[in-house]
Amino acid sequence: MAKLYFYYASMNAGKSTTMLQADFNYRERGMATMLWTAELDTRSSGMVRSRIGLEAGAHLYSPDTDLWNEVQAAHNSRPLDCVLVDEAQFLTKPQVWQLARLADEAGIPVLCYGIRTDFQGELFPGSAALLGIADTLVELKAVCHCGRKASMNLRVDAEGKPIKQGEQTEIGGNDRYLALCRKHFSEALAR
């Protein structure tokens, strides 16, 4: 039976690297995969890129993308053995249910990778839906500067000072975000 998986973590935990490794494992065995990433992340449009230099082409999804129809059309042309979704925090709740349907009705395993919470400690909509309905939840580990597990994402300005307010989504990497443990995240925001 196919399952819906959610691999989640703070930034810099190796989510994209883990996804690309899973994709490689399927393809190495002659199996067909389909990769997706968020159109919103303009840093590497049409590519899944890891910080350690691995990359692969991917289909882009936006909030309007019907993942059920798009994947089913590809699956009808060439049967898919796995669908992998990067930046899954940007999925809409209906898209998460479409991915669950792919696992349940089409029998295609779906592996989603994303950030659990934003820079204020709030769940992203896609992450909330995945945490609620995924068959398997896997937390990947990042490390805070103190050595503890980093579970939070602190947004910083150009001088490295914490940002407390703003839009939930602001695309950026190490220049805009720090992965911290909850203690150091709270201290940085003076909670």
Active site residues: 87
Residue 32 phi/psi, 5° resolution?
A: -95, 135
Angle, to 10 degrees, between the axis of helix 67-77 and the axis of helix 93-101? 30
Strand pairing class (142-143; 82-85): unpaired
Contact of 70 with 59, CB cutoff 8 Å: yes
* Dist. CA 38–CA 44, nearest whole Å: 10
> How many residues would you count in the chain?
191
Residue 149's contacts (CB-CB under 8 Å, 6 or more residues apart) are 141, 142, 143, 181
CB atoms within 10 A of CB 166: 11
